[in-house]
Amino acid sequence: MASLDILLVDDEPSIRLTVADGLRDAGHQVTTAADGQEALNLIDAQHFDLVISDIRLPKADGMTIFRKLRQDKPQTGVILMTAYATVTDAVVAMKDGALDYLTKPFDIDEIKLRVGRYGERRALEAELSRARDELAQRDPSSIIVGRSQIMTRLLDLIETISDSDAPVLVTGESGTGKELVARTVHSLSSRREGNFVAVNCAAFPETLLEAELFGHERGAFTGAVKAREGRFKAASGGSLFLDEIAEIPPMAQAKLLRVLQEGVIEPLGTNKPVEVDVRIISATHRNLKERIKNGTFREDLYYRLNVLDVNIPPLRDRRGDLPILVEHFLKNLARPGRPTPSISPRAWAAITEYGFPGNVRELEHAIQRAVVLCRGAEIDVHHFPEDIAGPMNAQVESAPTEGVRPLAVAVKEFEHQYLLRALDAADGKKAKAAEMLGISRKNLWEKLRAHEIQGPSS
């Protein structure tokens, strides 16, 4: 958890001492002030990450402190402490940008939890801000996004091999960005002015794949009503990207081998050779050596294709690239004219804990879904697909706008009912109820007194 510089403002010495000690134990730096004017002087003199202030204070109240921070130092977070009598003020402050409020009496663990969440949010915002700065400094022509050591080595390798005309074999799991690598190799090569032509070898049956690659004459097969130039011819002078090369059928493998050896193709329906000047970049997520052992892929073709090899790491091996990738997708997928959506710490935790078997493609689709569902608000965990969010979080729906009560009222009602449920479950034994709720007995007694609850049947 990030360490924060905190200003704690309260006119009660016992609260200042207890809360300050608890926050220092959690690793934060804490400065205290006994009244509003002392707090205002400290705010003018130094920077704080977070101000925790009571609303009712001598000399200047907490709302005055909040308004000054909003005007002069809006980057400083504010958490207000209030009794039930001043909850309305706290709710108004939250509408104007306060982070949170705590109703007295509260448990020290509760305020440590709220502060911890704010620290996580600040750390996340700082990380995404660094990613945003890095994206701004990138070459606009660069397609591949990454800053981890393994990606830095990959980019160096791509830059080195781009100068050559030798065939390149790109390997990696589905969704890692093999076509992006192929396009980058082409864009950095001397062939960049030529065409980059891509064909998915798994998308065509054998006869149609040969026609697609090498072209055909009119009447070469049923349905060939006119001659057609193949992908090799279209890519002449540039690069031809053969995706899913492991799926190419045996007959097409033999013809492809001849092209690589002799630099000529023969369109279907003719024996006339046609010279082509093409750099081959192929890609697969399959293990080609296993395919060679199984007899489904030619070994001589493999060595012709694999003169230069590039293996793309899965996303799980480049976790350090998550911030810059997320920021990249947020920026690109946000609606034109609208600010880039922020992402909550809970949502960020879900992303960082998920394995992403679909790699970068799965991450992009998850961010795209979240951007659509959040409708310009903060992205939370339930905006992600169930695989990432988990089944419970994914079922969370937005609350209806009709009949919404003030937050303070809803919170108080929920706490009242939850305390009754805990007492019922504990058969009226307050010590057991406090243990079940994870709070001290003193804190439970204070909450019961505040809610005027005497026992389980109240």
Q: 84-109: per-residue pLDDT in tens?
A: 555 676 677 777 777 777 887 778 88
Q: Where is the domain boundary, 247, 279, 313?
A: 313
Whether residue 191 is found in the same domain as residue 309 = yes
pLDDT at 137: 64
Residue 456, pLDDT score: 44
Domain count, the chain: 4
pLDDT digits (tens, 9 = 90+) for 290-347: 999 999 999 999 999 999 999 999 999 998 889 889 988 998 887 777 778 888 878 8
- The reply to whether 199 and 297 lie within a common domain is yes
Of 5, 49, 23, the C-alpha closest to 113 is: 23
- Enumerate residues 6+ apart whose C-beta is below 8 A from 162: 184, 185, 186, 188, 189
Residue 204 shares a structural domain with residue 112: no
Residue 175, sorted as left (phi over 0), alpha (psi -120 to 50) or beta, turns out to be: left
What amino acid is encoded at 154 in this protein? L
pLDDT at 215 over 90: no
pLDDT at 423: 81
Handedness of CA 322, 324, 329, 335 (dihedral sign): positive
Please report, to the nearest 10 degrees, the dihedral formed by the alpha carbons of residues 233, 171, 352, 342 taken in order: -10
Same domain, 294 and 378: no
* Domain final position from 296, 313, 330: 313
Among residues 269, 285, 313, the one where a domain terminates is 313
Query: Quick check: is 101 in a domain?
Result: yes
CA dist., res. 93 & res. 91, Å (int): 5
pLDDT band for position 393 (cuts 50, 70, 90): low
Confidence (pLDDT) at 116: 86
Q: Is the residue at 299 inside a domain?
A: yes
Average pLDDT over residues 354-369: 94
195 and 61 assigned to the same domain: no
Domain of residue 155: give its range: 149-313
Average pLDDT over residues 190-214: 89
53 bridge partner residues: 9, 80
- Rounded to 10 degrees, the C-alpha dihedral 440/446/449/454 comes to 10
DSSP string, 381-404: GGGS-HHHH-HHHHT--PPPSTTP
Q: 456 lies in a domain?
A: no
- Residues contacting 56, CB < 8 A, separation 6+: 11, 62, 82, 83, 86
Query: Smallest Cα–Cα separation from 286: which of 379, 202, 204, 214?
Result: 202
Distances (CA, A) of 302 to 213, 254, 287, 306: 18, 11, 11, 6
The CB-based long-range contact list for 418-421 (8 Å cut-off, 24+ gap) reads 419/444, 419/447, 419/448, 419/451, 419/453, 420/453, 420/456, 420/458
Q: Distances from the Cα of 265 to the Cαs of 215, 224, 259, 306, 331, in angstroms?
A: 9, 18, 6, 20, 44
Sequence-ordered alpha helix ranges (H) in 249-358: 250-262, 288-294, 299-305, 322-333, 345-353
Examine the domain organization and report whether 18 and 118 are in the same domain: yes
How far apart, in whole angstroms, are the C-alpha atoms of residue 76 and residue 97? 10
Average pLDDT over every residue of 257-276? 85
Calpha distance 147→195 (Å, rounded): 29
